[in-house]
Amino acid sequence: MLKNKCVLLGVTGSIAAYKIASLASMLVKQGAIVQVLMTRNATNFINPITFETLTGRKCLVDTFDRNFEFSVEHVSIAKQADVVMIAPASANVIAKLAHGIADDMLTTTVLACRCKKILAPAMNTNMYENPIVQDNLDICRRYGMEVITPATGYLACGDTGAGKMPEPEALFEYIVREVGFEKDLAGKRVLVTAGPTRESIDPVRFITNRSTGKMGYAIARAAALRGARVTLVTGPVNIKPPMFVDMVPVESAREMFEAVTGRSGDQDIIIKAAAVADYRPQTVGAEKIKKADGDMSIALERTDDILGWLGSRQRPGQFLCGFSMETQNMLENSVAKLEKKHVDMIVANNLKVAGAGFGTDTNIVTLITRDGVKELPILSKEEVAHRLLSEIIRRQGGGASQETP
């Protein structure tokens, strides 16, 4: 994913500077070459030795440091960088970048970089909302820099408001999106469904299934990191939503049907990974159904067939992919589903096979198309997502593509 990618981290004078140690560690673990540059003020919040220990590289602070290899240091580093992230980005350094001031190692190096630059402002709310700071951020954007919107919350100064630097995990996602994957889905619109649906019995009870949404969320994240414009229609789940996707939360099968069919027309790829209920109660109680002596039965009716609807209205060039969760006769049932629904691919798996199914971090799937069957080994759901997308791209005429993160 980030193997041998050179990431330049610029750390400025903010209390949030200590969080960048975690980010540097995360990047190194993914195989990135991490070069940290600090302003003098930043060294008051975290010692450069911390970064040197984590990255195995000298942390640069002084433009005129004589303890380096013979080269024009800031230029040589700038040439190596695949992406620059300045986090935390203080109001002072933002102003310098906006106006081309290069008076220390960090700003001199960044000015020499031709790669993408990402800024993560971190400061007091009043400073962040100051029109001068906002004007400087707009200038940075005009020069092609990406500005991450600060989080809102309790700040070190005691105020509550905008200006809090996002957590390292979020910053990591920005870097991965920029340099982690080939953008072989750039310009494509991808719609993914994920999670279960809930079919109400009364205001208290509902019918659902064991889907956690992990597979669908992994597909949505992978597509976004590969450049697609992603819409994720999701049932109720308890996992963190992926970044860089348009979230459409729904609850019932009917709501999912309306959300998908209302957006399907302009999608290039639709991947239906959600476990949608096949049946719902014919009537929903307005009040809680009280317990009574004897048995109880609930009359059920079919829900809308989303995949069948999509298959009957597929536009030229659109790729439709459905999922098939089986407990027996997986291949036969999934091939039948492929033909009946008129889709391009079915991703099949067997709930009873160890390492596959709901709630796991791995999956074992078989990709079924009209011209063949491809069985994948046990993989993480992230790896399955990328292998699936690569196969779809190949079949859409995109040629050879990346297969694993």
Q: Which residues are marked as active site?
A: 157
* Cα–Cα distance measured from residue 265 to residue 231, given in angstroms and rounded to the nearest whole number: 13
Closest CA to 392 of 233, 312, 273: 273
Closest CA to 197 of 186, 206, 184, 188: 206
State the maximum Cα–Cα separation within the chain, in Å, rounded to a whole number: 89
- Whether the ω angle into residue 236 lies within 30 degrees of 0, i.e. cis, is no
**Tokens matching residue 291:** 């317990």
| Residue 210, C-beta contacts closer than 8 angstroms, at least 6 positions apart | 196, 275, 358, 359
What's phi and psi for 52, nearest 5 deg? -65, -40
CA 24 to chain centre: 19
* Cα–Cα distance measured from residue 39 to residue 147, given in angstroms and rounded to the nearest whole number: 19
